Amino acid sequence: MDTQLLIDTLSRVIHVATAITLVGGSAFMLLVLIPAAQNLSDEEHARLRTGLIARWKRFVHIGVTLFLISGLYNYYRAIPSHKGDGLYHALLGTKMLIALVIFFIAAALVGRSAKLEPIRRKRTLWLKVLLICALIVVTISGFVKVRGPQPPAAAQAPTAVAE
């Protein structure tokens, strides 16, 4: 097997598997864990939250690192196929900015900074924002993947025919 193909495939698998893990884990927390934990006593709830965050924090930090490495690599490999494709680059730039917002929210939710405590106090709201942002990123990713590479705008413009 071609080494480049193997590396490209591995990078893509890491990127998608990380998305599945982090977005799926966030959805699980919002839709299953938080509602179920409301039935716990304050002491049980605090103990669960402490244990959960300590464990989830590792996934978030490793996941963000894997996203950055694999995402930048995937983008670098895609650039030659999308040269001159303004829509592709605009959408990917938007996707990257939204991803940075997601990374910030995820880190704030598992962090210890006193300045970010207001975010942690409204965990449900911020998990909803995170998941909406993730849905937008997945939609952009799906669109550019299905759309495929497009020729530069100059190559698409019809040429005038002399009469």
Band (pLDDT 50/70/90 cuts) for residue 113 is very high
pLDDT tens for each residue of 18-58: 999 999 999 999 999 999 999 999 999 889 999 999 999 99
Does some domain include residue 158? no
Does some domain include residue 155? no
Does some domain include residue 42? yes
Beta-carbon contacts of residue 158 (< 8 Å; ≥ 6 apart): none
Q: Which domain holds residue 104?
A: 3-148
Does some domain include residue 154? no
Does some domain include residue 64? yes
pLDDT tens for each residue of 88-105: 999 999 999 999 999 999
Round the average pLDDT of the chain to a whole number and report it.
92
pLDDT number for residue 151: 77
Prediction pTM value: 0.86
How much of the chain exceeds pLDDT 70, in percent? 93
Structurally, how many domains does the chain consist of? 1
Does some domain include residue 49? yes
Does some domain include residue 96? yes
Contact of 107 with 60, CB cutoff 8 Å = yes
- Which residue type occupies 25? G
Does some domain include residue 156? no
